[in-house]
Amino acid sequence: MSRKLLLLSSAKTVVLVPAAPVSTRYVYYIAAVGIVCVLIGAADVSARLARAAFGDSAAIVAFAPLAALDLPAAPSARTALVPAVLRIPALEVRAEVEQVGVKADATMGTPQDFSNVSWYSLGSKPGEPGSTVFAGHVNNTRLMSGVFGNLSQIKKGDYISVDDEAGRSLLYRVYSVETYEKNAPTDALFTTTGVEQLVLITCDGDWVPSAKTFDRRLVVIAHPAY
């Protein structure tokens, strides 16, 4: 009965398929050595051992490793910037940034374009102490998905980057994902002192026709990734 032996390394995957029955003890020996090869990254050694064990009939198939996540390089120092683009790779979000202040009802302004995010420009810039606050729509009146339509799927540890017009970037990593009642106090989210953090806000919960809004808010907080 033929057997399959799978040897993995950090550089490639090698699948060995012997054409004829071999000793079970010999297979276990090759597998054990293969695991050692994985730990030291010696994929070529695994291939040579396979040929020694099974001869030229061993079929070897190699696969390229997964591509590394394309993230901005760590800057020598975190310098404040004026945000122009916000990106969330895990959600495939790339959004232009609109600068906003406070509306007549004393709430933060929202983006005019449903594919954009708004930045509370009266607060902290990315790279400064305190909260850099962005808001985005979850959908529009036609129930078409907005820029933050999938924000509820973001997970702790996901990356968020902010770029300026010159192409400089600051990288953040999601620290928490919480939901709040619409009228819950939000002063702590708009602080301009203390720990640097990125805050993303969008609607959540149930639609309230009389108020023409949702009854909850989804808040994502991210801290500098380096």
Same structural domain, 122 and 178: yes
What pLDDT is stored for residue 75 in this prediction?
55
Same structural domain, 151 and 213: yes
Domain membership of residue 68 (yes or no) is no
Helix (H, G, I), strand (E, B) or coil at 86: strand
Same structural domain, 52 and 149: no
Helix (H, G, I), strand (E, B) or coil at 36: helix
Same structural domain, 13 and 105: no
Same structural domain, 106 and 207: yes
Q: Is 165 within 8 Å of 99 (Cβ atoms)?
A: no
Domain membership of residue 69 (yes or no) is no
Same structural domain, 27 and 112: no
Same structural domain, 123 and 22: no
Same structural domain, 98 and 182: yes
Domain membership of residue 51 (yes or no) is yes
Tell me how far apart the alpha carbons of residues 134 and 123 are, in angstroms, rounded to a whole number: 10
Same structural domain, 185 and 115: yes
Domain membership of residue 19 (yes or no) is yes
Please report, in tens digits, the pLDDT of each residue of the chain (226 residues total): 433 333 333 333 333 334 444 444 443 443 443 433 333 343 443 444 334 443 443 333 333 333 334 565 655 578 999 999 999 999 999 999 999 999 998 889 999 999 999 999 999 999 999 999 999 999 876 678 899 999 999 999 999 999 999 999 999 999 999 999 988 888 889 999 999 999 999 999 998 988 888 999 999 999 999 8
Residue with the two structure tokens 């969330």: 88
Alpha-carbon torsion (59, 52, 21, 32), positive or negative: negative
Domain membership of residue 67 (yes or no) is no
Q: What is the CATH number of the domain that holds 209?
A: 2.40.260.10
Domain membership of residue 70 (yes or no) is no
Same structural domain, 52 and 91: no
Domain membership of residue 78 (yes or no) is no
Q: Is 21 within 8 Å of 4 (Cβ atoms)?
A: no
Domain of 140, in residue numbers: 85-224
In sequence order, what are the residues at sequence separation of 6 or more whose Cβ sits closer than 8 angstroms to the Cβ of residue 28? none
What pLDDT is stored for residue 129 in this prediction?
96
Domain membership of residue 76 (yes or no) is no
Same structural domain, 15 and 126: no
What pLDDT is stored for residue 189 in this prediction?
93
Check: pTM over 0.85? Answer yes or no: no
Strand partners, 178: 219
Q: How many domains does the chain divide into?
A: 2
